[in-house]
Chain A
Amino acid sequence: MSLSKPVTGSLLSAPTVLYMAVFFIVPSLILFAYSFWSAASYQVVPDFVLKNYLGSLTSPLFWKVTFNAISIGLWTATITLILAIPVAYYLVYVARSQTILYLILLTWFSSYLVRIYAWRTLLGTNGVLNTVLLQLGIIDHPVGAFLFSSFAVTITLVHIYLPFCILLVVASLSEIKRDLIDAARDLGTSSIGAFCKVIAPNAANGLIGAFMLTFILVAGDYVTPQMLGGSSGQTTGLLIADQFRKTGNWPLGAAQAFLMFLVSLAIYFALLTAGRMSGLVVHRPRKKKEA
């Protein structure tokens, strides 16, 4: 006797659902509860206050670092996506090679921290970038601003998340057959026209997904801003981490985490709306085929 579809489905998804329930949903709910508690001298007191939210929303520092995080996130995601699309296009439609994709993913085998330190070396006052610019005579004294800035954070995050973004774009382009490019060209578009008129609209959901995933990971990243951001490159992630690690104000950190979550959600919907209004993302209700 075979199991019915719903039963098979539940059995197959049970381990993941259970794992996510225990290690994600429950902790998230606990965190959500925490966000209404209060903290006093490194002690968390069960309570119901809105001051964690209201305090953050009225705090200039919170908005400054949030703006920073969003700006770094948007810049990084934008640059990453722009760089990833041609590479992914090449991998999917021209080279059709898995080897190159593996080589790109190989960069993940190097430690995240090592790469951050490498960028410190490259961007520092005695770093490679400054040395080259000095030698070329473009600058006459080392520029300290390369390091410990949003610029340094962005350039490093692009480096770290580019392979990830390429992987996502490759996945979304792989669903679109090469035939469609040929068909578009056969009907009179150039190859760039074929990308804009046929590939991009069909891949739009995947591309927005790649952008948003990169954005969320980057906006929440707190290690790179901590190592390379300096005082001007602080982000919400770092602020939240500090509430948990340094000041011990868990309720405030929890509230800020949820605020950041809402901000990300808002940006996602803003992007989707923009995409639909520009006609790039086609939204249509999937009609059920009549049996």
Chain B
Amino acid sequence: MKAPTPIIEIRDGKKSFGSFVALENINLSIHEGEILTLLGPSGCGKTTLMRLIAGFEGLTSGTLRVSGEDVAAVPPERRPVNMVFQRYALFPHLDVFENVAFGLKVKGLAKSEITERVKRMLHIVQLESLANRYIDELSGGQCQRVALARALVNEPKVLLLDEPLAALDLKIRQHMLAEMKRIHAETGATFIYVTHDQDEAMILSDRVVLMEKGRIVQIDRPEDMYARPKSLFAAKFLGETNLFETAVADSGAQGTVAKTASGIGFLSRNGVGHKTGDKVVVSIRPESFSFANNDEGSSQKTQGQVEDVVFIGSRSFYTVRLDDQAKVRIQVQRNGRVKPPEPGSRATIYWDADNVVMLPQA
């Protein structure tokens, strides 16, 4: 079966500003209807990539296709994409209704159609009652919804969202994330979402594009990227993790075994293609450690001293100092079955080979 044409396709994309290379080796296909997140630290090029798709910047080399068509010569006003700007960029001289109607008016649609579509969109974002307010009379969350409505009313094939929640406080942010998912389901548009916030990316995305220093380092579903990071950067950027400097001691059908200098061994079923003697970094998430041997036989273990416990409601975070002085963070879900160790006591910690990820050294 032939895959459908991606809605956005970038091949060997490169963008430089003078001598500064903002983006390099960009190969990316975006499927119709998905929520794709461009995730990365500030300065990684994610906003530039979005502005390229919107048409505010042009590729230095490579191709950018929208629905199979090369759009190098198409200015932003003629691209079937709309954007929600980081600080909303709403028009202060217009009220909410006029802001949302702006794009349709420019297109020269009939007044009755404009009114109908704007009203429907204001209903979707639940702002009907504020249609005649001016922008400076709105709260941050309301501005955000006007910005969404103003873009979506044009029924773009692709909606670009540039850190749309960055200016909102935490509580509204969580509410808006849910809103965004609902609006996505209701409109069926493709969403490309730029953020540096891993939580937003995990909650919202079908796929995450992780970027670093102008390059794409990994494209994956959020759960896969979390469980199987392909680089040290990915392991560290998404969520919390424990890292161990090791060298591969043995590699076979069972998996790969790597050992720290102090002799702690890790068996991994995920380390593919490592040769004996290779230096690798072992990454194990805090929740992959346990104080109980759940799975007889397959679990690996080591010992250490419990230094510190932090309770966060249903979970606790333990800091355990291993015998070679390395510190390990362990997350324990509260339950009645296993009594967790007291601070100051010695403890044995267990982990499973499935949760051991071996990464090349950066």
Residues of B within 8 A of A201 (CB): 93
Docked-complex contact B75 and A185, CB < 8 angstroms: yes
**How does the 8 Å CB contact mask read for B54-79 relative to A, with 1 for contact and 0 for none?**
10100000000000000000011110
CB distance from B260 to the nearest CB of A (A): 50
Residue of A nearest to B56 (CB): A182
| Bound complex: CA A13 to CA B78 (Å) | 52
**Interface size in chain A (residues, C-beta < 8 A):** 21
Residues of A within 8 A of B150 (CB): 183, 187
Residues of A within 8 A of B87 (CB): 177, 179
Tell me whether chain A's interface is mostly helix, strand or loop, or mixed.
Answer: helix
Residues of A within 8 A of B291 (CB): none
**Interface size in chain B (residues, C-beta < 8 A):** 26
| Bound complex: CA A187 to CA B85 (Å) | 12
Instruction: Let me know if A180 is at the binding interface, CB within 8 A.
Output: yes
Docked-complex contact A186 and B91, CB < 8 angstroms: no
Residue of A nearest to B153 (CB): A187
**How does the 8 Å CB contact mask read for A257-291 relative to B, with 1 for contact and 0 for none?**
00000000000000000000000001010010100
Contact of A188 among B56, B77, B90, B137 (CB under 8 A): B77
Docked-complex contact B91 and A185, CB < 8 angstroms: no
| Bound complex: CA A43 to CA B19 (Å) | 75
Residues of A within 8 A of B107 (CB): 188
Docked-complex contact A183 and B91, CB < 8 angstroms: yes
| Bound complex: CA A177 to CA B92 (Å) | 11
CB distance from B139 to the nearest CB of A (A): 10
Residues of B within 8 A of A231 (CB): none
| Bound complex: CA A85 to CA B45 (Å) | 33
Contact of A180 among B54, B56, B89 (CB under 8 A): B89
Tell whether A189 pairs with B82 under 8 Å between CB atoms, given A183-B89, A183-B91, A284-B134. no
Instruction: Let me know if A190 is at the binding interface, CB within 8 A.
Output: yes
CB distance from B133 to the nearest CB of A (A): 9
**How does the 8 Å CB contact mask read for B126-156 relative to A, with 1 for contact and 0 for none?**
0000000010010000000000001100100
Residues of A within 8 A of B134 (CB): 284
Docked-complex contact B89 and A185, CB < 8 angstroms: no
Residues of A within 8 A of B77 (CB): 185-190
Residue of B nearest to A281 (CB): B93
Docked-complex contact B76 and A182, CB < 8 angstroms: yes
Residues of A within 8 A of B103 (CB): 187-188
Docked-complex contact B85 and A198, CB < 8 angstroms: no
Contact of A179 among B81, B85, B106, B137 (CB under 8 A): B85
Docked-complex contact A186 and B83, CB < 8 angstroms: yes
Residue of B nearest to A203 (CB): B93
Docked-complex contact A182 and B85, CB < 8 angstroms: yes
| Bound complex: CA A287 to CA B135 (Å) | 12
Residues of B within 8 A of A190 (CB): 75, 77
**Could you show 21 A-B contacts with beta carbons less than 8 Å apart?**
A177-B87, A177-B89, A179-B85, A179-B89, A180-B91, A182-B85, A183-B85, A183-B90, A183-B150, A186-B54, A186-B76, A186-B81, A187-B82, A187-B103, A187-B154, A188-B77, A188-B107, A189-B106, A197-B102, A201-B93, A202-B93
